[in-house]
Amino acid sequence: MSAKKFMFSLLCASLLGMVACGDDKSDSADTNPVVPPSPTSSADPVDLSGQSSGVEPVSSSPSPATASSPTPTSSTEVTPPPQSGDYATLATSANVSIPAAWYDSWKANHYSTLEKDATYYPSLSSDFEEIFKGDFLPAGRVVWQSSTQYTKCKVADATNNRMKNRACTVSEGIGYGMLLSYFNNDSDAFTRLWNYNRAYRDYSGSGNLMPWIVPSFSYVIIDKGSATDADLDIATALILMYYKTKLEPYKTDALAIINDIWTYEIEPNSKQILSGNTAMWNGKGNIEITYNLSYFSPVALRLFALVDTAHDWNGVLDAMYTYMAKVQDGGTGVFPDWSNAAGVAVKPPNNSADATYFRFYNESVRIPWRIAWDYYWFQDSRAATVLNKLNKFIVDKSSGDVKSTALATNYSWNLSVGADKTQTSVMGMWLAAWCATGIAGNSTWLNACTTELNTKKLSNTTASYFNDILMVMYSQLLNGQFVKPF
C-alpha cells in the first residue's frame, strides 16, 4: 500500500468509522450502500468525445474475472428493426436511426475513457494504474451527474473544468452503458465498461458485485455495497454478448455475478429481489425489507435461467410478477418507488426518498422499460396486464394526448398516503416511459407517442445523466434496436 493510500485509510477511518473507505477489505455484506439522489439541477454540457470506434470481440481467455477480456475488431453497423412474429409490434414510426444518433450524442457527453480522464484529473491519474493495469485495459466509464453529497465526486485540479463535479461513476450506469453499447454494436465501449466493472470488483475484494459508487478510475471506494439493478443489468449484458459471440468468457463472468446475486440479493423465502447486499436491504439488520420494483428485470431472470440451472430463476420471475400485481392493484394503478412485503408504500431505510417514496417517481420511471422489454421479446400476459393498467391510467389522465402535461405529473400510488406532484414540463425519460406502456395493446398511443419521442433531443448537461441514459434506453427499445441474439 502506498503512503498516500495508507494516509487515506487513516483519515477515512477517523471520519467515517471505516464504513465507506476504499481500503476497507471487509465483506461487502457488512457495509451499507446509499441510493444516488435524483438529478436536481442543470448545468452546461461537457464534451467527453474522443473515444475509439465501436468494435466486436474475436478472441477469449478462460477466466474473465482475472484475465484480459476478448480482443475486439471493428463493427458499427446498426441492425434494422425486427419484423418477425418473435417480437411484439412496434410503432409504425419506429426508426433505428434515432437511437443510433442519440447513442452517439449520449456517448459524447456521458462517457469517458481512462485516457480521457487522465487529462481531466492529473492528480488522480497517477493512481489509476493501481486498479487498471494489464487485464483490465482498455477501460471506460459512464459519467455520473454533478454531486454535492459525495465529496470524492469533486476533484480539486479540475476546478476550471465543467467536468469537476462529475468525477464519480455508479454501477447502475455501467449496467445501462453495457446494454446501450451492446444494442448499438459498440463493442469497444462494451469491453471498456466491462473492464471497469471487473477491475473494481477485483480491487474492492467484494466478490462479484461491483461497489455502487466509485470516483473516476481512482483506487478510492466510496461505498462497497452493491446495487442489485446494476448487477442484474451487467450480467444480462454479458449473457447477451455470449449468445451473440459464443465466447465463453462472457458466460463465465456472468455466471459468477449471477451466483452472487442469488446468494446476496434474492430473499430466500419469498424469492423476491432485494435492493442490495447489505443489512440495510436484506432484513438481517432488524430493518424492514423495502423493495424497489424498478429493480425487477424479467428479461434478466429469463436469461439467467437459460445459463444457470443451479438456481430457481423462474421462481424469482413468478414471485416478482405476483408481487408487482399486488402492489399495482393496491393503489391507483401506478407504482410507488418503494414498498414493503405487504405491497404498501414505505420509506426506504437510507432516507433517500422520505418525501417521494409513495410516488411513481425517479425509481419507478424505469418500470415501463423493463416490463415492455419483457413483453416485446416474450409477450408474457403478466407484462401485458401491468402495462395496460399503466396505459389506461395515463390515457385517462391525458385524454389520450401524448403532448399533454399530464405526462409530467409524478402520480401518487395512493392519495391517502400522499398527493401527486405536478411538474411544469415533461422530461424526456417520462415521455419515453409513458410511451412504452402502449406496447401491449394500445397501438394508437404507441404510434403517436413514439413519433413525439423521436422529435426530442438529449439534455446533455452535467445534471442530466439519469434522464439522458434512460431516454436512449427507451428509444433503443421503442425503435427496434433491442434485437435478440438467439
What one-character-per-residue DSSP string does 20-87 give?
S-TT--S-GGGS---PPPPP-----------PPPPEEE----S-TTTSPPPPEEE----PPPP-STTS
Pick the last residue of a domain from 265, 285, 307. 265
In this structure, is residue 150 part of a structural domain? yes
What is the reported pTM? 0.84
Say whether both 254 and 306 belong to one domain: no
What's the CA dihedral at 357, 360, 365, 370 to 10 degrees?
100
370: left (phi over 0), alpha (psi -120 to 50) or beta: alpha
In this structure, is residue 1 part of a structural domain? no
Whether 453 contacts 432, CB under 8 Å = yes
Collapsed DSSP state (helix, strand, coil) of residue 284: coil
Regions of the chain short of the pLDDT cut 70 = 1-85, 155-165
In this structure, is residue 187 part of a structural domain? yes
Element (DSSP H or E) covering residue 215:
strand 213-215
CATH of the domain at 290: 1.50.10.10
Q: For residue 119, with 0-12 CB atoms within 10 Å meaning exposed, 13-18 middle and 19 or more buried, which class applies?
A: exposed
Domain encompassing residue 328: 267-455
Collapsed DSSP state (helix, strand, coil) of residue 209: coil
Pick the last residue of a domain from 265, 288, 317. 265
| Locus of grid cell 458466460 | 251
Which pLDDT does position 25 carry in this prediction?
Answer: 29
Count H helices, E strands: the chain? 16, 6
Whether 391 contacts 317, CB under 8 Å = no
Q: Cell for 116?
A: 480521457
Which pLDDT does position 8 carry in this prediction?
Answer: 30
Say whether both 417 and 274 belong to one domain: yes
CA distance 105 to 452: 19
In this structure, is residue 100 part of a structural domain? yes
Which pLDDT does position 127 carry in this prediction?
Answer: 87
| Locus of grid cell 465483506 | 27
Which pLDDT does position 84 carry in this prediction?
Answer: 53
In this structure, is residue 13 part of a structural domain? no
Say whether both 214 and 344 belong to one domain: no
Say whether both 233 and 346 belong to one domain: no
Pick the last residue of a domain from 265, 281, 296. 265
In this structure, is residue 147 part of a structural domain? yes
Which pLDDT does position 72 carry in this prediction?
Answer: 45
| Locus of grid cell 389520450 | 400
CA torsion sign, 149 to 155 to 159 to 162?
negative
Count of domains forming the chain: 2
Say whether both 227 and 245 belong to one domain: yes
Say whether both 135 and 222 belong to one domain: yes
Say whether both 182 and 106 belong to one domain: yes
Which pLDDT does position 71 carry in this prediction?
Answer: 53
Say whether both 348 and 370 belong to one domain: yes
In this structure, is residue 346 part of a structural domain? yes
pLDDT in tens, 203-228: 988 889 999 999 889 888 888 999 99
Say whether both 147 and 227 belong to one domain: yes
Which pLDDT does position 54 carry in this prediction?
Answer: 28
Q: Cell for 431?
A: 415521455
Question: How far, in Å, are 51, 107, 140, 434, 465 from residue 112 at the CA level?
Answer: 7, 8, 6, 30, 13
